[in-house]
A and B are shown apart, each in its own frame.
Chain A
Amino acid sequence: MSFSTSFWSLANPARFMSLTARAVPILSVLAGVCLVGGLVWGFFFTPDDYRQGSTVKIIYLHVPAALMAINGWLMMLVASLIWLVRRHHVSALAARAAAPVGVTMTLIALITGAVWGQPMWGTFWAWDPRLTSFLILFLFYLGYMALWAAIDDPDTAADLTSVLCLVGSVFAILSRYAVNFWNQGLHQGASLSLDREKNVADVFYHPLLLSMAGFILLFLALVLAGTRTEIRARRLHALRLRERMA
């Protein structure tokens, strides 16, 4: 079976439930190992930075959370487009399940960024392009979740939240590239680069990679688990409607 055929077969709820029943526990264990490993390595076994002191240890939380905040929305965008074009319910439910995970990642990035910013910049917050676009992305996540909760008809809710997701994608992209677009503000450019001169030092880089892997795997495990719950909730809703009509 080709990757394409295998990917689209996930649109079948029964097939999705069968495959993810095995995937979620494996992903959860891997996420736990990478997350604990990366954070323990970064917190206990890396030196202080010569300029930032011990605050550099916040990088193992802030960068992976920000990465998943943006990519979480982009995953929702892909799922929403699949819903709008091909009307696969599982993709709409996957987008819905990703929102609480994404909003938590965004909140972690905002909190850790503020706590890191105070000693480095002298302020918890500035209306810097990157910080502001991140705050707007956070508000979009909340709006997206509120819209799902506010509409009873699941297909209408999926349609409207998908459109909201398309609009919010502008801010997901701005969150990533605001520093490059405006070249101003307090926030630095990307911490990771293929250029060794610009990349963080190896001593910080390797635990950071492990922590990022942990956040990515945790995101995947939680989104798959959440999608399974949404599929069951949809079935439960249908059964309850039938009971009422009987």
Chain B
Amino acid sequence: MPDLGRYALEVGFAYAATLILLLTLVGITIWRGRRVKRALQAAEGRRHG
């Protein structure tokens, strides 16, 4: 771990906030993608079945 000196809080907060936001964005994109794909497969199954 590098010595961040007197600005450790600011630098740490910037990295933590960015990672949380990016991971949330990626998580929501994957979750919504899977949910819509499943719903579409079910709807097409009903149509053909």
Q: Which residues of A contact B (CB under 8 A)?
A: 39, 43-44, 48, 53-55, 57-58, 61-62, 65, 100-101, 104, 107-108, 111-112, 115-116, 118-119, 218, 222, 225-226, 228-229, 232-233, 235-236, 239-240, 242-243
A243 to B30, CA, bound (A): 27
The answer, among B4, B8, B32, for a CB contact under 8 Å with A229, is B32
A243-B43 contact given A48-B5, A57-B11, A222-B26, CB 8 Å threshold: yes
B35 to chain A, nearest CB (A): 9
Q: How far is the CA of A147 from the CA of B42 in the complex (A)?
A: 29
Chain B residues at the A interface, C-beta cutoff of 8 Å:
1-8, 10-11, 13-15, 17-18, 21-22, 24-26, 28-30, 32-33, 36-37, 39-40, 43-44, 46-47
Label chain A's interface by main secondary structure: helix
Q: Chain B nearest CB: distance from A235 CB in Å?
A: 6
A240 to B43, CA, bound (A): 7
Partner of A58, one of B14, B30, B37: B14
Which A residues touch B28, using CB under 8 A?
100
Q: How far is the CA of A107 from the CA of B29 in the complex (A)?
A: 17
Task: Give the distance to chain B from A12, nearest Cβ to Cβ, in Å.
Answer: 18
Are B2 and A44 in touch, CB under 8 angstroms?
A: yes
Q: Taking the nearest CB of chain A, how far is it from the CB of B18, in angstroms?
A: 5
Known contacts A55-B10, A112-B18, A222-B26; is-contact A239 B2 (Cβ 8 Å): no
Give me 26 A-to-B residue pairs in the complex whose CB atoms sit less than 8 angstroms apart, sorted by A's number.
Answer: A43-B2, A54-B2, A54-B7, A54-B8, A54-B11, A55-B10, A57-B15, A58-B11, A61-B15, A62-B14, A100-B25, A100-B29, A111-B14, A115-B13, A115-B17, A116-B10, A119-B10, A222-B25, A225-B30, A226-B29, A229-B29, A229-B33, A233-B40, A236-B36, A236-B40, A240-B43
List, in ascending order, chain B residues with CB within 8 A of A229's CB: 29, 32-33, 36-37
When the two chains form the complex, which single residue of A43, A55, A228, A239 contacts B43, counting CB atoms closer than 8 Å? Answer: A239
Decide: B29 and A118 in contact? CB cutoff 8 A: no
